[in-house]
Homo-oligomer: A and B are copies of this chain.
Amino acid sequence: MKIKRLISIVACWLALYTASGQIQWKQVEPGVWKGMVGKPEAYSLLGVSGAAPLKEGFKLLPEVGLPAMASGVVSRIEAGKAMLRLPLRKEEQLYGFGLNFQTVHQRGKILNLHVDHYGGKDTGRTHAPVPFYVSSAGYGVFINSARYLTVYAGSAARKDSPEKPVAKDRNTDKSWSSQQYSDAVEILIPAEGVEIYLFAGPTPLDVIRRYNLLCGGGTLPPRWGLGFTQRTQKLYDAVQVEKEAEEFEEKGYPLDFIGLEPGWQSKAYPCSFEWDKGRFPDAEAFVGRMRKKGVRINLWTNPYVSPASGIYKDMYPYSGSHTVWCGIVPDWGMEQARRIWTDKLEKEHITIGVSGYKIDEVDGYDRYIWPDVATFPSGLSAEQLRQTYGLWVQRITADIYKKHNQRTFGLVRASNGGGNSFPYVLYNDYYSHRDFITALVNSGFCGVLWTPEVRSSKSAEDWLRRFQSVVFSPMAMINAWASGTKPWTFPEVAEQVREYALLRMQMIPYWYSEFAKYHFEGTPPFRAMNLEPGFESGRATYKEEVKNKNLEDNPYLEAVGKEVKDQYMAGEYLLVAPMFERETQRTVVLPKGNWYDFYTGEYAGNGEVITVKPGLDRIPVYVKDGAIIPMMEPKLHAPKAGEKINLEIRHYGMAESSYRLYDDDGETFNYENGAYSWRSVTVSRTPEGKLKGNIGRAKKGYPDNIGKVTWRFMTN
């Protein structure tokens, strides 16, 4: 009896302890700790993604201890909800919380992380509302929950806080602000418990690397995925698609894959996943002919099953209670549903050579998606499926390609935490060029890729400006499903468009190496200036300012943050500063260190804000001192496995430096078994003070695909 009593006391104490209080942190990977609050749900983001940590990658990162803030993290379970509080210091800025389109600085924000189409404001409802954030202080936090989370990212003040701000009289005190200083991030998780991951740096970029590595490393696209892609008009038939590919070839525009929009399917919205026999009478032959032209085929679909589809009857019992456009909604929590879809896609598309998918409408939009009251046979809630539907479709399709030892690279409209290694790029219907760039900036904070796709334009200027941007992004794409626009649609800029399309191709060795670093080391190929060493000093301060003091327009005197959200880093060395329609000049913030013009090699500045007037022909791109950019000859298709290429290796600035050039077959997963090579490229000074380049050999036993190497010292 005494033991029983003791047990019950201990149980009671344990229950209380887990119900409220500090968190026990357990190191799971170097610089990554896991904490448990309450009873974490079995169904989680990492569980759905199936990501396994890329352990090798952690070895390249510095050894670090548990971040000091860890001891200040407290939790509480109340009425079936977990609440977290994570301390903040005054000088910290926060980044991340998913794919935001208008803001980079997240401190002070309130976000409801909810998979959704982007509605024009950074509210947390977005295509990838990844519950991960990184602090400028060099730590990061990931909440492994497939629930709708509410985040107070340093916006709420507690009356018992030791750092609580002092009340001001708004009547007389001009420094009154509607925003109270807050010393914590608070998060509401509508579940009885949750797993939290804490990442150390030391730098914010190291934090992101650890997050990406925990989630399997970033994706390594096939080499052709980094070429150019065009999506054809929605009702194009096989003949029209072939003709379009021929036109690209004739006009000298590069093209690696063509995306077919809904018309390839016999029924769309909801979908049959079956070829339309009218428009594509012999799909296999068509895909084969296209492949011979060097052009792969990507297929649009959404996952909602048409009653006319061959799998409708089989899928019916494994689908949710509600329909989307009268299509049933597969319950991916059921193995049977995944198998039925896998078999269908494999049989209809993948075995005949289709290279990948564009998977639409998995983000939802409340107006058409299943409601939160829907039920699913797996017992998962509508909310859990909404948060993970994008992960599931990526995982299912990626697994098929993996089985075929064939890489894919496609488009998807929703993702979430853990999806880092899936070979997909996010996109949406929104079409603000400026906000597309901010999304590209933020994609690097949350383990996703984003394309600022070009769709159509009302002017040649806008067309060219958008095209110049997309060339410096994970997927260089024209999405002409509705407009039918082609790269040469605006004759007055057709040549400039071609020039940039070819520049994209020339840079493939650089892009491919940078993606390899994303995969093996976790470094996002496209990322915010905030992650660049020497950037902070290049800009004013963290201080935010009240821009509009008119009380009737801005009654609560909200400050607007000073953020740099219209320029970004592309790979190790490039700083890209897009131009927007009707702008002839812009400012560019250059971090500390010498920066050079990408096109001319001329010195541009150092830790300063410069104003540039590049003219319509140029998107401003700057290069770090010592940058080594490997480029190949302009080709209309990305090099095939084993295809020899000639390199022009550019060096910028005055510094001696080195670069690691990656190579593998570019198409299979053999790199996972060591079939790849990192080649060392160095530039050093001769005793006479002249710069001289040297390129190392491929790994022993690995084929050497490099032909002629030319060195070009851009500065001097």
Which residues in chain A, 160-212, are within 8 Å of chain B measured between CB atoms?
160, 164-171, 176, 178-180, 186-188, 190
Q: What chain B residues lie within 8 Å of A323 (beta carbons)? A: 157-159, 164, 180
CA distance A321 to B186 in the complex (A): 13
Given A83-B373, A322-B158, A372-B150: A551 and B171 interface contact (C-beta under 8 Å): no
The reply to whether A80 and B80 form a contact with Cβ atoms under 8 Å apart is: yes
Is residue A308 within 8 Å, beta carbon to beta carbon, of the partner chain?
yes
Q: What chain B residues lie within 8 Å of A267 (beta carbons)? A: 167, 169, 171
- Among B170, B370, B381, B455, contact of A262 (Cβ-Cβ < 8 Å): B170
Which residues in chain A, 67-102, are within 8 Å of chain B measured between CB atoms?
78-80, 83, 85
A107 to chain B minimum Cβ distance, whole angstroms, is 13
What number of A residues sit within 8 Å (CB to CB) of B? 79
A81 to chain B minimum Cβ distance, whole angstroms, is 9
A194 to chain B minimum Cβ distance, whole angstroms, is 13
The reply to whether A552 and B456 form a contact with Cβ atoms under 8 Å apart is: yes
A363-385 interface mask toward B, CB cutoff 8 Å, 1 = contact, 0 = none? 00111101111110000010000
The reply to whether A482 and B551 form a contact with Cβ atoms under 8 Å apart is: yes
A554 to chain B minimum Cβ distance, whole angstroms, is 9
A430 to chain B minimum Cβ distance, whole angstroms, is 10
Binds B, one of A222-230, A325-333, A699-707: A325-333
Is residue A388 within 8 Å, beta carbon to beta carbon, of the partner chain?
no
The reply to whether A167 and B270 form a contact with Cβ atoms under 8 Å apart is: yes
CA distance A157 to B322 in the complex (A): 5
- Among B170, B365, B558, contact of A556 (Cβ-Cβ < 8 Å): B365
A495-536 interface mask toward B, CB cutoff 8 Å, 1 = contact, 0 = none? 000000000000000000000000000000000000000000
Number of copies of this chain in the oligomer? Answer: 2
The reply to whether B373 and A188 form a contact with Cβ atoms under 8 Å apart is: yes
CA distance A186 to B374 in the complex (A): 10
- Among B110, B186, B268, B552, contact of A431 (Cβ-Cβ < 8 Å): B552
The reply to whether A370 and B180 form a contact with Cβ atoms under 8 Å apart is: no
Given A188-B373, A263-B171: A322 and B159 interface contact (C-beta under 8 Å): yes
Is residue A555 within 8 Å, beta carbon to beta carbon, of the partner chain?
yes
Is residue A584 within 8 Å, beta carbon to beta carbon, of the partner chain?
no
The reply to whether A176 and B556 form a contact with Cβ atoms under 8 Å apart is: no
The reply to whether A368 and B556 form a contact with Cβ atoms under 8 Å apart is: yes
A148 to chain B minimum Cβ distance, whole angstroms, is 11
A586 to chain B minimum Cβ distance, whole angstroms, is 26
A307 to chain B minimum Cβ distance, whole angstroms, is 5
Which residues in chain A, 237-286, are within 8 Å of chain B measured between CB atoms?
262-263, 265-270, 276
Is residue A106 within 8 Å, beta carbon to beta carbon, of the partner chain?
no
CA distance A320 to B169 in the complex (A): 21
CA distance A512 to B70 in the complex (A): 63
CA distance A234 to B234 in the complex (A): 59
Q: What chain B residues lie within 8 Å of A262 (beta carbons)? A: 170-171
Q: Taking chain A's interface residues, is the majority helix, strand, or loop, or is none over half, making it mixed?
A: loop
CA distance A83 to B674 in the complex (A): 53
Q: What chain B residues lie within 8 Å of A268 (beta carbons)? A: 169-171
The reply to whether B276 and A156 form a contact with Cβ atoms under 8 Å apart is: no
Is residue A118 within 8 Å, beta carbon to beta carbon, of the partner chain?
no
The reply to whether A371 and B326 form a contact with Cβ atoms under 8 Å apart is: no
Given A171-B262, A268-B170: A367 and B234 interface contact (C-beta under 8 Å): no
Is residue A436 within 8 Å, beta carbon to beta carbon, of the partner chain?
no
A174 to chain B minimum Cβ distance, whole angstroms, is 13
Is residue A394 within 8 Å, beta carbon to beta carbon, of the partner chain?
no
The reply to whether A159 and B319 form a contact with Cβ atoms under 8 Å apart is: yes
A413 to chain B minimum Cβ distance, whole angstroms, is 11
* Closest B residue to A80 using CB positions: B80
A179 to chain B minimum Cβ distance, whole angstroms, is 7
Given A152-B373, A178-B368: A325 and B167 interface contact (C-beta under 8 Å): yes
Taking each of A268, A269, A320, A482, which has the highest tally of chain B beta carbons within 10 Å of its own beta carbon? A269
A309 to chain B minimum Cβ distance, whole angstroms, is 10
Given A158-B321, A373-B152, A552-B431: A269 and B176 interface contact (C-beta under 8 Å): yes
- Among B179, B328, B431, contact of A368 (Cβ-Cβ < 8 Å): B179
Is residue A416 within 8 Å, beta carbon to beta carbon, of the partner chain?
no
Q: Which residues of A pack against B, CB within 8 Å?
A: 78-80, 83, 85, 108, 110, 150, 152, 155-160, 164-171, 176, 178-180, 186-188, 190, 234-235, 262-263, 265-270, 276, 306-308, 316, 319-328, 365-368, 370-375, 381, 429, 431, 455-456, 482-483, 550-552, 555-556, 558
Told that A156-B322, A160-B321, A169-B267 touch, could you supply 4 new A-B pairs with CB distance under 8 A?
Answer: A152-B371, A158-B323, A166-B326, A188-B372
